[in-house]
Amino acid sequence: MKVSASAFLQGKKPALKELLNKLLSEYEYASILGQDSVAKNYTVSAGGTNASQDNVLTKRGFIVRVMDKNGYGEYSFSDIDESAIDSICISIRAGIDQLNSLPNGVSFMEKGIPADEAATLAAASEYELHPSKLGDKEIISRLTALREKGVATDERMVDFYVAFSYQEIHKLFLSANRDLMQDLLWSSGALMGMARKGEEIKTSYRGCSMQGGAELIYKLDADIENVAKTTLELLDSEPIAPGEYECICDPDVTGMIVHEAFGHGVEMDMFVKDRALAQSYVGKQVASELVTMHDGACASDQTGSYFFDDEGTLAHDTIIIDHGILKTGISDIRSAEALSTPPTGNGRRESFERKAYTRMTNTFFEGGKDKVEDMIASIKYGFLLEEPTSGMEDPKNWGIQCMVSIAREIMDGKLTGKIFSPIVLTGYVPDLLKSITMMSGDVKLAGGGFCGKGYKEWVKVSDGGPYIKAKIRLG
Amino acid sequence: MKQAILNALSALNISDYSMTEQQRSSAELFFIKKRLDMRRVKDTHEYSVTVYNVFEEDGKKFRGSSTVILFPGTEAAEITHQLEDAYNAAGYVKNPYYDLYEGHKEAVKEVPSTLSAHTLSQNAELMAAALFAADTRDDAWLNSAEIFACRDHISIFASTGTDVSYVKYSCKGEFVAQAKEPQDVEQYFSFTYNDLDTDALTDKARHALDAVCDRAHATDCPEAGTYDVVLSDRHMATLMELYVTRSRAAMIYPHYSDWEIGTAAQGEITTGEALNITLMPHVPYSPEGIPMRERTLLKDGTVQCIHGTTRFCRYLGIEPTGDYFNTKLDNGTVSFDELKKGCLYPVSFSDFQMDPMDGHFGGEIRLAYLYTESGVKLLTGGSINGSMFDKQGMLTFSRERYTDADYSGPFAVRIKGVNVSGK
């Protein structure tokens, strides 16, 4: 089934068009993005049950972008009707005009008007079972049963946290030549086992996600035993001896490397700021010939999928690395203008209340031809890395900081059963990517979490790839 | 809108509810080098409504709750539909019964701030001028900056009598400092001020430019091994998250933390100082309308306060306090110059993290100073990885102090025997 359109946005569209026409008579460029999003989180844990809308992701409102003599200005507001159009125009004019006093030595950015090629679109994503159809009672009941099953796996389990969330997103984009509407449904689920080791609570986590609905809940059960087993294994984990090791990264860790270590570095607003080393490597080898990397809202059906971005650019599937050669970055409209490149549909906002930046969508390595068992067998001494917990980009210097929960020891081509935790991955991104010598065939993407620009501007993304074998510095 | 919500609640016979009205305004400036890239103005309004449903099953009494977010312009029928859905959802949320917080009506509180004397646009422009006042060097400069001048008007209204509101101004943002010689490097910095602290921002930017110049000259990675490590300023605030989080009622009720009043939070204090931490309010009222005030968290390393929302505090049989995030420390016995002798002092990480669940802290080093008898060495790369549960009895703090929006206390701490990965 397709996600239904937003009655709220459809009802506001005539007033928005009237507002746009007034703005176009006054400004060189004007566009409006309307958002109507509902997100609901369900969690069950020892702390209790929660079934509430998410106050960060549930948003309804509008943002106007205009260009005046001093460049771009934006105004975010909550409501509009025909009687408010003139007062909104006054607020836009007054608000943006008041921000024209510059510090000493600072000037306005050069102007560049978006191409704004004609496009009309009304598109919706598919789902099998809408969460509202399954209903709160059934969702809570299923999550409660999953938690009870997780807790019952072992008496050492302090808790077993289970979560399901969905986000139904409706967006409308209007400009002089564009009239776009989209309706999306993304879902994600999570399991987290918790066990005590002295004062420490050891946790193991599995997430899953999709562009779709409550059908995802039925996939959570398969991972309960694995999460519980790994949680208990962590009780016997030790800190690792720092050093460089041959490693196998599972698809989740591959995804973190793809996203944090490389993806952020090809966000082309960083090129404009002279903040990305990747800019000087376009056309050059940055990874093993085995590596082909994609980013695109239409490259996969995941939590970074959409039909147009928050600046009205249609979705792309961008090949960033082609057999080890860096081909291009990804861009929003402003960075594409500044760099004289075509926009790639990566202009995204946390919500209508926030600025648009170049952001990733679904980012992943293509699969290879190796089997995971052959990859493990090829290692004399090293580690299988699992469960990424966090990562931070360093586009300027291509430094890596990624943290994972689990390093499973491999000796003479076999897993020994010994686990080290927690692990910090560091090093130089091209060194790591060029050291990739094996890649498995299957590609898996996951989008359970959020991506920030630095420490803010959270948006849903997915990332992943195959198992990869590489040399990595662990600490 | 508020009356429309109250009418719907009444029509649905929902007797227990709370409502938070948020009116947020901001003026925002975005710079790339010395050019203004974007101006933004925000003026938004929303209502967060929590409805409670008390029910019994198999002789047990429950209080479920569910929250919906409502916006201006929402039709009355949709408001009713959303609240009815939330009330039904709350009927499946089988959380043990507890009594709601009972507040009362109070006059609007304006958090005192010198920012309130100006418009948001003026605040943004004054802070921008303060930031760029430091950008005068030839060897380092501001690569980019974002400034958000904000005004939040929050009103909290509940069926149990709470009717409070406050206005809070702030100015926050981030900037990236860059140096090109001998290496092209950058460092990220963020700031939050609750006053028009232009001098503080200029100082911060000057120090940032000094630091990025040092990073430009740092080429060596530390030798892998064990070091006495010094952490300072923002990293101090991050370390304290361990104590703030482990003392939350929401962590104690599900047994993620076994702390109680009187727990020796630092364990055995061997060679270090006992912690004295005060919880500081970050807003006048918690989201439930509970007045926030200073509360002693740790005295000589011993837990004095468990803090949290009404539900978890009631479950633990203690007074609801609201959740706290900000800390003030009284510690500090050694001068910073003495503290850092013989230590590795990382001043910048890719992302310094403290995990309150397992006590581990760590991060990849962007810039560190290694103090040895032969001098100071600039280092970059590698990482630190330690457990506060192992190290918290061996903490020594500087006499010099540091204050940020969420932390006031010693500028630095020395932690003994931390694992460092490197060459």
Q: A221 in contact with B at a CB cutoff of 8 Å?
A: no
> Is A83 within 8 Å of chain B by CB?
no
| Helix segments in A104-236, DSSP class H | 131-134, 136-151, 224-234
CB within 8 Å: B73 and A60: yes
Contact B385 A424 (CB under 8 A): yes
pLDDT for the residue numbered B284: 97
pLDDT greater than 80 at residue A393: no
What is the per-residue pLDDT across A400-409, written as a single tens digit (0 to 9) for each? 778 899 999 9
Helix (H) or strand (E) holding A214: none
Contact state of A106 with B35 under an 8 Å Cβ cutoff: yes
Q: Which of A92, A115, A138 is the last residue of a domain?
A: A115
Average pLDDT over residues A219-245: 93
In a domain, B220, yes or no: no
pLDDT at B381: 87
Closest residue in chain B to residue A241, using alpha carbons only: B421
More confident residue, A335 or A239: A335
Cβ–Cβ contact A250 with B under 8 A: no
Q: What is the pLDDT of residues A150-161, one digit of tens each?
A: 999 999 999 999
Measured between beta carbons, which residues in chain A are less than 8 angstroms from residue B255?
46, 158-159
Task: Return the closest-CA partner of residue B126 out of B105, B149, B107.
Answer: B149
* Inter-chain residue contact A397 with B185, CB threshold 8 Å: yes
Is the same domain home to B200 and B314?
A: no
Q: How many residue pairs from chains A and B have C-beta atoms closer than 8 A? A: 274
Please say if the pLDDT value at position A371 is more than 90.
yes
**Which residue in A51, A109, A159 is closest to B37 by CB distance?**
A109
Residue A283's CB is within 10 A of a number of other CB atoms, namely 10
- Using a CB-CB cut-off of 8 Å, the residues of chain B touching A158 are 254-256
B382 touches chain A (CB under 8 A): yes
User: Which pLDDT score, from 0 to 100, does residue A202 have?
Assistant: 92
In a domain, A44, yes or no: no
Q: How would residue A288 be classed by pLDDT, with cut points 50, 70 and 90?
A: very high
Query: What's chain A's average pLDDT?
Result: 95
Say how far apart CA B158 and CA B167 lie, in whole Å. Answer: 18
Q: Are B68 and A95 a contacting pair at CB < 8 A?
A: no
CA dist A56 to A38, A328, A354, A457, B156, Å?
10, 32, 12, 11, 18
Residue B151 and residue B101 share a domain: yes
Q: What residues of chain B, 233 to 262, have a C-beta less than 8 Å from chain A?
A: 250, 253-256, 258
Q: Are residues B167 and B280 in the same domain?
A: no
Nearest to B36 among A108, A273, A474 (CB): A108
Same domain for B248 and B322? yes
The reported pTM is 0.94
What is the number of residues in chain B? 423
- From residue A38, how far is each of A55, A59, A329, B67, B126 by CA, in Å? 9, 7, 31, 12, 37
Separation between Cα atoms, residue A424 and residue B383, nearest integer Å = 7
In which band, very low, low, confident or very high, does the pLDDT at A50 lie, cut at 50, 70 and 90? Answer: very high
- The reply to whether B231 and B255 lie within a common domain is yes
**Do the strands A243-249 and A200-211 form a parallel or antiparallel pair, or are they unpaired?**
unpaired
**CB-based contact (8 Å) between A84 and chain B?**
no
Query: Are B147 and B237 contained in the same domain?
Result: no
- Give this complex's ipTM: 0.94
Residue B97 lies inside a defined structural domain of this protein = yes
Least confident of A59-63, A236-240, B12-16: A236-240
Q: Which domain holds residue A160?
A: 123-173+182-234
Q: A123 in helix, strand or coil?
A: strand
Spatial contact of B178 and B140, defined as CB atoms under 8 Å apart: yes
A110, A218: one domain: no
Give the residue on B whose Cα is nearest the Cα of A81.
B73
User: Would you state the pLDDT for residue A396?
Assistant: 87
Residue A2 belongs to some domain of the structure: no
Query: Residue B337: its pLDDT value, please?
Result: 96
Q: B100 in a domain, yes or no? A: yes
For residue B280, give its domain range.
Answer: 225-421
| Residues A316-329 pLDDT 10s | 999 999 999 999 99
Q: List, for residues B97-124, the tens digit of each pLDDT value.
A: 999 999 999 999 999 999 999 999 999 9
Q: Are residues A340 and A411 in the same domain?
A: yes
Q: Which of A74, A106, A199 is closest, CB to CB, to B38?
A: A74
- Cα dist from A401 to A397, A423, A475, B372, whole Å: 12, 10, 11, 27
Q: Which of B1, B17, B42, B142 to mutate to test the interface with A (most CBs of A within 10 A)?
A: B42
- Final residue before a domain boundary, out of B215, B235, B264: B215
Q: Does A203 touch chain B (CB under 8 A)?
A: yes
- Chain B closest CA to A437's CA: distance in Å? 23
Give me the residues paired with residue B306 across strands: none
Binned at pLDDT 50, 70 and 90, residue A311 comes out as very high
pLDDT (tens digit per residue) in A11-47: 999 999 999 999 999 999 999 999 999 999 999 999 9
Residue B318 and residue B412 in one domain: yes
Q: How far is A32 from chain B (nearest CA, A)?
A: 14
Q: Which of B92, B132, B254 sits opposite A45 (nearest CB)?
A: B254
Q: Are residues A186 and A53 in the same domain?
A: no
Contacts of A75 in chain B (CB under 8 A): 40-43
In a domain, A218, yes or no: yes
Yes or no: say if B165 and B154 are a contact pair by the CB < 8 Å rule: yes
Give the pLDDT confidence of A374-384 residue by residue, as tens digits. Answer: 999 999 999 99
Q: What is the mean pLDDT of each run of 10 residues along chain B (423 residues)?
A: 95 97 97 96 97 96 98 94 97 98 96 96 97 96 98 98 97 96 93 94 96 94 94 94 97 95 89 94 96 97 97 97 96 94 94 90 92 94 90 94 92 95 84
- Same domain membership, residue A156 and residue A70: no
Task: Kindly report, residue by residue over B136-169, the tens digit of the pLDDT.
Answer: 999 999 999 999 999 999 999 999 999 999 999 9
State the CATH number of the domain containing residue A210: 3.30.2290.10
Asked if residues A150 and A191 have their Cβ atoms less than 8 Å apart, the reply is yes
pLDDT of residue A276: 94
Chain B positions touching A105 (Cβ under 8 A) are 34, 132, 135
Q: What pLDDT shows up at residue A112? A: 81
Interface probe for A, chosen from B39, B55, B141, B227 (most Cβ of A below 10 Å), is B39
Please check whether residue B25 lies inside any domain of the structure: yes
Does B52 fall in a domain? yes
Q: Do residues B132 and B209 share a domain? A: yes
In terms of domains, do A157 and A103 share one?
no
Three-state SS at A272: helix
Give yes or no: residues B204 and B237 share one domain: no
Count up the domains in chain B and report the number: 2
pLDDT digits (tens, 9 = 90+) for B365-401: 999 999 999 999 999 988 898 999 999 999 999 999 9
Window A:273-312, CB contacts with B under 8 Å: 273-275
User: Which of B262, B221, B256, B198 shows the shortest CA–CA distance to B370?
Assistant: B221
Residues 129-158 of A with CB under 8 A from B: 136-137, 140-141, 158
Residue B366 with chain A: CB contacts under 8 Å: 394, 399
**Minimal Cα distance from B37: which residue of A?**
A109
Over residues A431-437, the mean pLDDT reads 96
Distances (CA, A) of A397 to A280, B159, B185, B205: 12, 55, 7, 21
Residues B65 and B43 in one domain: yes
Strand locations in B180-245 (E)? 185-193, 225-232
Strands (E), B58-194: 60-70, 109-110, 141-158, 163-179, 185-193
